Amino acid sequence: MIFGNRATYDKMISELEIKAYDRIFEIGYGHGLGVRKISSKFDCFVSGIDYSELMFNEATKRNRKYIENKKVELYLGDFLDSELISNQYDKIFCINVIYFWDRLDKPFSKIIYGLKKGGTFCLYMVHSDDLKKAKYTQYDIFNKYTLDHVVDNLKLAGFSDIKYKFNKGYLIKCRKLTA
């Protein structure tokens, strides 16, 4: 998983247009590769949540230096049950995570609540048509979403300026423009 995702993380980081002192939150940080890439390059604060203890331990090991310097904070828990403080983050992102969410309205509402006005949310996903072809996604836990369904849910949650790029999967970027 980790090597396949390096390129996706690079594209995601470029789309996030990170600035000094940004507060960034990653949902489903997995091995913590993205967290480390960001904290090693930018002077900003990164936090994130993942519900896998294995991933939490891996990501903590990988980011120990930045955790000790208080540039990174990693949580173990379910994003869907977690509380985000309102207007906290400049950027929130997730890569290959939304398949594990049975509905998108609740998580997208939580994300927009946690973003500052003008903040950006980016997600990467493989389209349902391509997921249907893969062996490992045949289990029931994989929700296979179409681009239209995701975009409709982003609009319903209140996101604006929704754009996307395609390269194997969709990198969707949108903004919170209202307070």
Ligand X SMILES: C[S@@+](CC[C@H](N)C(=O)[O-])C[C@H]1O[C@@H](n2cnc3c(N)ncnc32)[C@H](O)[C@@H]1O
Q: By CB under 6 A, tell whether 95 contacts ligand X.
A: yes
Q: Which of 10, 43, 78, 129 is the binder for ligand X (CB under 6 A)? A: 78
Q: Exactly one of 11, 51, 137, 147 binds ligand X (CB under 6 A); which one?
A: 51
Cα angle, residue 5 at apex, residues 111 and 70 outer, rounded to 5°: 55
Q: Would you count residue 57 as binding ligand X (CB under 6 A)? A: no
Task: Kindly tell me which residue out of 13, 25, 36, 50 binds ligand X, with binding defined by CB under 6 A.
Answer: 50
Q: Which of 76, 15, 4, 69 is nearest to 40 (CA)?
A: 69
DSSP for 33-59 reads: HHHHHHHHHSSSEEEEEES-HHHHHHH
Helices (H), strands (E): how many in the chain?
Answer: 7, 7
Per CB under 6 A, the segment of 93-101, 113-121, 136-144, 169-177 that binds ligand X is: 93-101
Q: Which is nearer to ligand X, 83 or 117 (CB)?
A: 83
**96 near ligand X, rule: CB under 6 A:** yes
Least gap, CB of 18 to ligand X (angstroms)? 17
DSSP H or E segment with residue 118:
strand 115-125
Which of 63, 56, 69 has its CA nearest to residue 38? 63
Q: By CB under 6 A, which span of 73-81, 136-144, 149-157, 159-167 interacts with ligand X?
A: 73-81
State the Cα–Cα distance between residues 110 and 108, nearest whole angstrom.
Answer: 5
Q: Under rule CB under 6 A, how many of the chain's residues touch ligand X?
A: 16
For ligand X, the binding residue among 30, 114, 119, 169 (CB under 6 A) is 30
CB of 179 to ligand X, least distance (A): 27
Q: Which of 23, 73, 80, 116 binds ligand X (CB under 6 A)?
A: 80
Which residue intervals of the chain are DSSP H helices? 6-16, 33-41, 53-62, 64-68, 105-114, 128-131, 147-157
Residues of this chain that interact with ligand X (CB under 6 A) are 1, 5, 28, 30, 49-52, 55, 78-80, 95-97, 100
